Chain A
Amino acid sequence: MDGIADMGGTLGWGSAKPPKKDEPVFGEVWEGRAFALALLSMRTAGTNLDSFRHALDRQPREKYIDDGYYGRWLHAAELMLVESSIIAPDAVEQRTRKLLGQAVTEPERPEPHKPDYAPTAAGSLRQVDEPPRFAVGDRVRAKDISPPKHTRLVGYVRGHEGVVAAIQPSHLLPDTHATFEGENPQHVYSVAFDSHELWGADAEDFTLHIDLWDSYLEDAS
């Protein structure tokens, strides 16, 4: 979806930060707790890695940016747990206010309603029986579409032409897996884009490689 998470090529974020030596893995204690809670929430909510990413996609800007990386993980975990009716929509807010010393009425725990979903195997790699549609060296174009829900077809390659550089292991399709609408395994291609195709004549010279699912691509030979 065209949300805050699809950052590639957007401007206005300032300079890149030079790496810090000996940066701790978790800068603050709560970051580690949020990391672990997010991983466990996928299990508890009966969701999956792609639906977790879709929960990240759907965060409003302030929840995505202002609370940092593990903050957005916490907000996404909360969204998945609310959508699976593991917790009530205002349960975290009310408990937080209680921790702040405010008088609150905490909601009852709802009846869980997890997605009707079970993976066919561990992980995201899947077998596809049909041969790949494209071969290494083929010219392809990323479709110029704006899927309303989760996708790994980033905005900055849409409508642009590249060359298949490698055939990757086939994967389930995140677009439908994220919303429990099926695994739909597909071939995945590493596509190489010339920087000038993406960013114009004045761009730096470089090659951009990105993995694109079969259904994201059309023939451009």
Chain B
Amino acid sequence: MSEEHLPIQLRTEALEQLLVEAGLVDPTVMDKFISTYANDVGPLNGAKVVAKAWTDPAYKERLLAEGTSAIAELGFKGPQGEHIVVLENTDDVHNVVVCTLCSCYPWPVLGLPPSWYKDPAYRSRVVREPRAVLHEMGLDLAADVDVKVWDSSSEVRFFVLPQRPAGTESLSEEELSGLVTRDAMVGVALVGAP
């Protein structure tokens, strides 16, 4: 057999053809999976969780104590969300999440991971020199902040509750959710004021 590298998009098409011809895979089921994660399940879910925690102290308490059930209150659950632990960023502590082995990520709240999260440079180095990696990604933390790095090695998934930016007291929950970014909910960015 040749060792020549065949184009991956054709290899994908080939496998799909083989499984569909054998009656083992239904292309409309594939379409549904793709559409769900391309359109429905994404970081807008997580942003709603964060905005609610910022505006409802009782919810925030439940979220930090029992992340999975508090997140499910908003209707967000499913694959890669079997047990979600919420990590609160404060003036003193900055949490950042990685999966060094395979890019595990809390799908129900953040959707599928972005390219930087899956990149070997992030996976390898954020557990070794997190401040250097965050600097390369555009985030410089104060020297006195404790950095905690969470490697997602089990089925526990980590979700960062970022700090609410100053000057947002008058914003509604919906306006606040519009400020929250995916990157802040993994811990590689802060949420900026509007």
* Binary B-proximity of A4-29 (CB < 8 A = 1, otherwise 0): 01111111011111111001111111
Does B53 make an interface contact (CB < 8 A)? no
Does A96 make an interface contact (CB < 8 A)? yes
Minimal beta-carbon separation of B45 from chain A (angstroms)? 13
Number of interface residues of A (CB under 8 A): 83
State the CA gap A30–B10 with chains docked (Å).
8
* Binary A-proximity of B111-152 (CB < 8 A = 1, otherwise 0): 110111011111111111111110011100000001111111
Minimal beta-carbon separation of A72 from chain B (angstroms)? 9
Binding site for B on A (CB under 8 A): 5-11, 13-20, 23-30, 32-37, 39-41, 44, 53, 56, 62, 65-69, 71, 74, 77-78, 81, 86-87, 90-93, 95-100, 109, 123-125, 152, 154, 156, 168-169, 171, 188, 190, 198-199, 203-213
Q: Is B155 a contact partner of A17 (Cβ separation < 8 A)? A: no
A-B contact pairs, 24 of them (CB 8 A): A8-B100, A13-B124, A16-B121, A19-B137, A19-B138, A19-B189, A29-B9, A37-B12, A37-B16, A37-B19, A37-B25, A65-B120, A74-B11, A81-B19, A86-B19, A87-B19, A91-B18, A95-B18, A154-B153, A188-B154, A204-B132, A206-B130, A211-B153, A212-B153
From B12, B13, B30, B122, A40 is in contact (CB under 8 Å) with B30
The interface residues of chain A lying within 8 Å CB-to-CB of B103 are 69
The binding surface of chain A is classed by DSSP as: mixed
Binding site for A on B (CB under 8 A): 1, 5-19, 22, 24-25, 29-31, 33-34, 37-38, 42, 82-83, 100-103, 111-112, 114-116, 118-133, 136-138, 146-156, 182-183, 188-189
The interface residues of chain B lying within 8 Å CB-to-CB of A74 are 8, 11-12, 15
Q: Is A204 a contact partner of B119 (Cβ separation < 8 A)? A: no
Q: Is A152 a contact partner of B129 (Cβ separation < 8 A)? A: no
State the CA gap A210–B97 with chains docked (Å).
10
The 3 closest A-B pairs by CB, nearest first: A8-B100, A211-B154, A95-B14
